[in-house]
Amino acid sequence: MRHQKSNNCKKWEEIRAVIRFLNAKSLNPTEIHKELQSVYGEHVISRTQVYHWCNLFEAGHSDLTDRGGRGRSITATSEDNVKRVDQFIRQDRRLKLHEIASSLEISETSAHIIVFDELGYRKVSSRWVPKQLTDNHKEQRLDICRELLRRSKSSRRVHGHTANAGGDFLGYDVTFLDSIVTGDETWLHHCTPETKQDSMTWKHSSSPIAKKFKVMRSAKKIMGTVFWDSRGVLLFETLQPGETINATRYCQTLDKLREAIRRKRPGQLTNGVILQHDNATPHTTQVTQGWLEKYGWEILPHPPHSPDLAPSDYHLFGPLKRELAGKRFDDDEELVDHVRKWLQNLDGNFFGEGIYSMVRRWQKCIDRLGCYVEK
C-alpha cells in the first residue's frame, strides 16, 4: 500500500510539472486541462485544480508537492475515505465521480484515485441479453444442455479437421457433431453502418480527433437464410420481394437443403441428419414437423430465448454483419453476390469451430446454472 501511494505521489508531481511547463508556454488553464486529458485520461484532474495550480505558479510558487488547501489533500485517500467510497459505490453502482466527491466532501481527483487506484473499480456498460430468463427458462436450458453434453460424449477419438477446430475435443462423438446441420435467417441491409468499436483507430496524443458521422441502416433489405455444417455452407438463399417466411415457405427451403446435402454430403441422408434451428413459429408448426417426420430428420433440442446456444447467431452472423459494415450496395443482386462470395471464401476450419464450440457452450451453460453464455 505504501509503495502504491508513493507511485501516486510521483504521478501527481509529474502532472503538476506538466501544468507548470504548459503554463510557462502561455497556454490558458482550459487548454492545459485538455492536453492533460488527452495524455492521462478524462478524469486525470479537475479543471478547477488546473486553475488553482496555474495561479500558484504565476504567483511564483515552484514546489510540486501538495501541502494541502485546494490541491489534493494528504488525507484525501486515507483508509477511512477508501472505506466510505467503497460502501457508497456498493449502495449505488451507477454513481458518477463528481457525485461521490460531492457527497463525501473530497475532490474529484481524490475520488478518482480512490475508485480506480485504491479500490480497482472500472465502470463498464451492462451487457445486452435477449431476455430476462425466469427460473423455468434456466431449468429448461440446464436440462437440454445436460442431455446434449451427455450425448456428445463418447469413447471415440476425434481425428482430422475436428482436432484443429479451436480446442481439444478428444472423447467427443465426432459422428454426432458432424451430423448436425444448423441454420437460421437474418436481415441483410443494403447499407450497414460500422459500429463505434469497428471504427477505432490508433492515435498519438498529438493526432487530430477522429470523427465518425452518424449513419442509419438502410430501409432496403432482404432476408437471407444460411444452412451449414462442420464442413461448410450447404445452402444460402434469399427471399424474393414480398415473400415472407411461413411453414410452407420454410418447407420449400428444407427441400432445397435436402437436395444440397444429397449433392455435397454423399451418404449423410442415409446415415441421418440432425437439424439445429431455433423455436421460431415456421420451424415448429405441424406442417414443418410433418416434413421432418417424413424424411426422418432429427431435431436437436433447443431451449427458448437462447441465441447464445445457436451457432448461426453466436458464430456466423456476427462476422457477416462486420463484413457488411461500412459498405453500400446498389441493389439486391450486388448484396447477395457479395455475401455468397464471402461465405465461399471462409476458411474451412471456421465452420468446424462453430459446430464444435457448441460442446463448450453447453458446458458453460451448465456451469452458469442456466444463465446466458457470453463467450
Return the pLDDT at 168: 47
Distances in Å between the Cα of 10 and the Cα atoms of 17, 20, 45, 75, 134 are: 10, 15, 15, 16, 51
pLDDT number for residue 69: 43
Q: What is the pLDDT of residue 9?
A: 65
What does the pLDDT read at residue 161?
40
Question: Could you count the other beta carbons within 10 Å of the beta carbon of residue 62?
Answer: 7
pLDDT at 201: 58
Given the C-alpha cell 455444417, which residue does it identify? Answer: 229
Instruction: Specify the pLDDT at position 216.
Output: 52
Check: CATH 3.30.420.10 for 135-194+215-367? yes
Domain spans of the chain, in order of start: 2-118, 135-194+215-367
Q: What is the pLDDT along the chain (375 residues), one digit of tens a residue?
A: 445 545 666 778 888 889 989 988 888 888 898 889 888 887 788 777 787 788 778 777 777 776 544 444 444 557 788 888 888 888 888 888 888 888 777 888 888 888 887 888 887 766 666 778 999 999 999 999 999 999 988 634 443 444 344 344 546 778 899 999 999 999 999 887 766 555 565 665 666 665 555 555 556 899 999 999 999 999 999 998 888 899 999 999 999 999 999 999 999 999 999 999 999 999 999 999 999 999 999 999 999 999 999 999 999 999 999 999 888 898 999 999 999 999 999 988 999 999 999 999 999 999 999 999 987
pLDDT of residue 358: 94
Q: Are 221 and 205 in contact (CB under 8 A)?
A: no
pTM above 0.75, yes or no: no
